[in-house]
Chains A and B, each alone.
Chain A
Amino acid sequence: MRKSVLVLSIGLVLSGSGCVAKKGPAVPQSVLLRFKFRPGESLTYKTVVESGEGEERGSEEYKSSQSCSSEVKELVKSVSPAGTANLSLTLFAVGVSGTKRGRRSLDSGPKLKEPFNLTLSPIGEVGGRDVPVGMMGGGSRLSLDNMMATYFFQSVPVASLQVVTAFRQGV
């Protein structure tokens, strides 16, 4: 008898504590992927970029690595009637470090970059890039500017193409 009460009690506790599945909001079967911008809003993204490469010289192999973490603040300055936003992007570099052939080659503290502007359509088309000249630093040396430029020029076109490829389908 005591066992039966115990089993019944456990059953009641379990059923009352949510073990019986509750129906949540229905998941849509189909959606339209679109960026939605509101004038004056700001979004902050944290990015971490890590890269590594190996080199072989004769019988010796060397490893190099770079790491850069930063925050990007997007400010929506205006939005056109078609929904295209004029964005101001500011990069706050939190840190960059790296090793070249096993040796530590660079560390950088927080650094604020001047903002640059671009436009972004609801389907992710990027236009009007206005990248500060300081970010275009060339050469092979490991520097914050090069890291940022690498991040910007490698990630934005690719991400943009992917977003546009997906988002355009709903047009």
Chain B
Amino acid sequence: MSPGSHWRGQVGFFEFALDTTVNLDKLATEGTHTIAYISAKSKFNLGDALGEPHKKPSKDLMNGSFQYRFDVTSGRILSMRANWAMAPDPPTQGNSIAQDFHETDSTMTFKMDLVGSSD
């Protein structure tokens, strides 16, 4: 795999479909180790990718962007950053209780760093 390469994968589980594209952004040498900088984008959607036509497909229910630092020499992840954003939920129609309530935004961030090893 070379810098600039990208790949796409899809998987369905429960009623969700996950579509992800991964890029190998660059390779670098840090000390004696080769480090791969990888980025990825994922989308969560409902229904259609699973072949369930009775379900109304959603439009990018959640979008996520990810960055990994992977130590190729020792074969382990050094760090990962992820950001998820959920599309705003429009006001509910036709329900007197719920029509005045909706989520305006929803975000989630992950940070993961290797902080210790036995070697």
Q: Interface residues, chain A, CB within 8 Å of chain B?
A: 24-38, 40-58, 61, 71, 122, 151, 154-155, 157-159, 161-166, 168-170
* Interface size range of chain B in the complex: 35 or more
Q: Interface residues, chain B, CB within 8 Å of chain A?
A: 1-2, 5, 7-9, 11, 13, 18, 20, 22, 24, 27-29, 32, 34, 36, 38, 40, 42, 64, 66, 68, 70, 72, 74-77, 80, 82, 84, 86, 91, 100-119
For B32, B40, B107, B110, which residue has the most chain A Cβ atoms within 10 angstroms? B110
From B38, B82, B106, B112, contact of A45 by CB (8 A) = B112
The answer to whether A44 and B104 touch across the interface, beta carbons within 8 angstroms, is: no
Name the residue of chain A whose CB is nearest to the CB of B8: A165
Q: How far, in whole Å, are A43 and B116 apart by their CA atoms in the complex?
A: 6
Name the residue of chain A whose CB is nearest to the CB of B21: A165
The answer to whether A158 and B112 touch across the interface, beta carbons within 8 angstroms, is: no
Interchain nearest-CB distance for B42 vs A (Å): 6
**With known contacts A55-B101, A158-B42, A28–B74 Cβ distance under 8 A:** no
**With known contacts A48-B110, A52-B106, A54-B104, A30–B2 Cβ distance under 8 A:** yes
**With known contacts A43-B76, A157-B13, A158-B18, A33–B36 Cβ distance under 8 A:** yes
Q: How far, in whole Å, are A30 and B91 apart by their CA atoms in the complex?
A: 50
Name the residue of chain A whose CB is nearest to the CB of B109: A50
